[in-house]
């Protein structure tokens, strides 16, 4: 590939946002095509010629919730190691280390990333739609997905680097607070598992390879494609992308994961920490993403604490009492009930008052719901910002992958505005009362000297 062609490729790849600005209406109307390949993989395609770019996102049920508890961190470390090299291919292709892979992607003017979250492991490819480049990029991505080398010497170095990062993070009150909150909210559920030096020590490249063989199977794949390709071209590319993964004989049902247990009583953690600010979290298990209350909860949370300076929590805790610089609330729905959380920082001597006021604001909102003016302001902002979720190929692929992952209706983007507009104040009140129990929440406060903490350790 010539240097001029490389520059052209890179320039076109990063022109997406500017070129797609103002085209949201067209994007929202673009149909999502959906079909299943012979190998069981589910394909979701938005075919658009707005830019000569193709974005792909391949998702597997291989997030951290599938990690064995003694090996917490296996998902994220496996994902990171995928990009450290590929072994020699079955077709005689040479092995490539991390540097050779980086040069190969640079030569194609394309990008490839791997990440693991709580629920899924995702592979993301962005490339030009020119067939000469597109086919080569998909072939290289296929090697990374299907033939990762998992070099042991690289993993030894990576493990030391991650251990150092963990030690550094453990010196920060935010890390201590987040860990305590997750463990107290989720209990023994995999959502609450923590990556530690001990769990990392139990992870080796053999465990990564075994995990790959068990979880990365085409029949469990959900592949989202957005860009300048037809359905026939997309099917060819999908088969190429998945061609190096195990065959259908490896497709056995994955074990079910128990739902997140509801809290039966309030729980409080007061953890001493020598810091200028106390870090505070208040919350509980929330709801799975497929829950029909999602729209009402999204709008309601904007009023409660998701709307920044116009939210009730900001008004009562920051503006009227000066107890914090910033406070927020939010839900984190996933395949299981991700947490609802109120979070803020405050002076250690003000923490108890700030917690009390935050609880009062939450309880009042759950009991009464939003006012008519609050609901209108929330709709104006949330619905008015909807076009910004679709103004680039990269954002659109994220939305399509979200629809695929959570089995949402294919017309989800087309009906989103109408469904959000249809939410009433009564809907929000009822949804919050179904989902939240202010009297049975977790409260974590990290900060203050030991003597202060012990004196304030009794539940309110």
- Return the minimum-mean-pLDDT range out of 132-141, 241-250, 364-373, 375-384: 241-250
CA distance 306 to 302: 4
251 vs 9, more confident: 251
Average pLDDT, the chain: 91
Return the pLDDT at 178: 97
Which pLDDT tens digit goes with each residue over 248-286?
777 888 999 999 999 999 999 999 999 999 999 999 999
List, as one string, the DSSP characters of 213-240.
HHH--GGG-EEEEEES--HHHHHHHHHH
pLDDT of residue 29: 53
Sign of CA dihedral 186, 114, 76, 224: positive
Q: What gap in Å lies between CA 138 and CA 72, rounded to an integer?
A: 31
Q: Are residues 125 and 56 in contact, defined by beta-carbon separation less than 8 angstroms?
A: yes
DSSP 125-150: EEEE--HHHHHHHHHHHHHHHH-B--
Query: Across residues 396-413, what is the average pLDDT?
Result: 96
Count, residues in the chain: 460
- Give the Cα separation of 21 and 421 in Å (integer): 24
Which domains are present in the chain?
A: 3-250 (3.30.830.10), 267-455 (3.30.830.10)
Using alpha carbons, select from 136, 222, 145 the residue that is nearest to residue 406: 222
């Amino acid at each position: 590939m010539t240097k001029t062609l490389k520059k052209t490729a890179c320039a076109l790849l990063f022109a997406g946002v500017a070129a797609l600005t103002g085209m949201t209406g067209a994007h929202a109307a673009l149909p999502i095509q959906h079909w299943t390949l012979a190998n069981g993989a589910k394909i979701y395609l938005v075919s658009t010629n707005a830019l000569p770019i193709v974005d792909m996102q391949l998702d597997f049920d291989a997030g951290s919730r599938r990690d064995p508890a003694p090996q917490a961190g296996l998902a994220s470390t496996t994902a990171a190691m995928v990009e450290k090299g590929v072994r020699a291919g079955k077709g005689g292709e040479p092995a490539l280390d991390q540097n050779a892979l980086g040069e190969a992607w640079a030569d194609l003017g394309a990008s490839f990333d791997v990440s693991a979250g709580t629920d899924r492991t995702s592979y993301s490819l962005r490339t030009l739609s020119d067939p000469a480049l597109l086919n080569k990029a998909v072939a290289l991505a296929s090697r990374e997905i299907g033939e990762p080398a998992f070099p042991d010497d690289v993993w030894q170095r990576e493990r030391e680097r991650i251990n150092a990062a963990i030690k550094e993070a453990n010196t920060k009150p935010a890390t201590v607070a987040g860990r305590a909150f997750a463990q107290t909210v989720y209990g023994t559920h995999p959502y609450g598992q923590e990556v530690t030096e001990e769990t990392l020590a139990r992870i080796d490249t053999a465990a990564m390879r075994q995990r790959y063989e068990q979880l990365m199977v085409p029949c469990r794949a959900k592949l989202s494609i957005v860009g300048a390709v037809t359905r026939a071209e997309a099917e060819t590319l999908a088969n190429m992308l998945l061609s190096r993964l195990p065959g259908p004989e490896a497709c056995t049902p994955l074990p079910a994961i128990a739902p997140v247990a509801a809290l039966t009583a309030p729980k409080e953690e007061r953890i001493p920490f020598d810091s200028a600010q106390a870090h505070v979290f208040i919350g509980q298990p929330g709801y799975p993403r497929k829950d029909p209350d999602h729209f009402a909860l999204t709008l309601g949370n904007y009023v409660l604490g998701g709307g920044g300076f116009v939210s009730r929590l900001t008004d009562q805790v920051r503006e009227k009492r000066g107890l914090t610089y910033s406070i927020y609330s939010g839900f984190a729905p996933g395949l299981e009930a991700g947490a609802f959380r109120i979070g803020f920082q405050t002076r250690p001597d003000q923490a108890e008052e700030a917690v009390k006021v935050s609880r009062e604001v939450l309880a009042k909102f759950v009991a009464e719901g939003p006012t008519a003016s609050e609901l209108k302001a929330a709709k104006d902002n949330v619905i008015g910002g909807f076009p910004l979720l679709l103004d680039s190929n990269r954002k659109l692929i994220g939305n399509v992958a979200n629809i695929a992952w959570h089995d949402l209706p294919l017309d989800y983007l087309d009906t989103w505005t109408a469904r959000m507009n249809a939410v009433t104040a009564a809907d929000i009140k009822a949804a919050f009362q179904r989902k939240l129990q202010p009297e049975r929440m977790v409260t974590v406060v990290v900060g203050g000297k030991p003597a202060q903490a012990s004196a304030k350790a009794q539940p309110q």
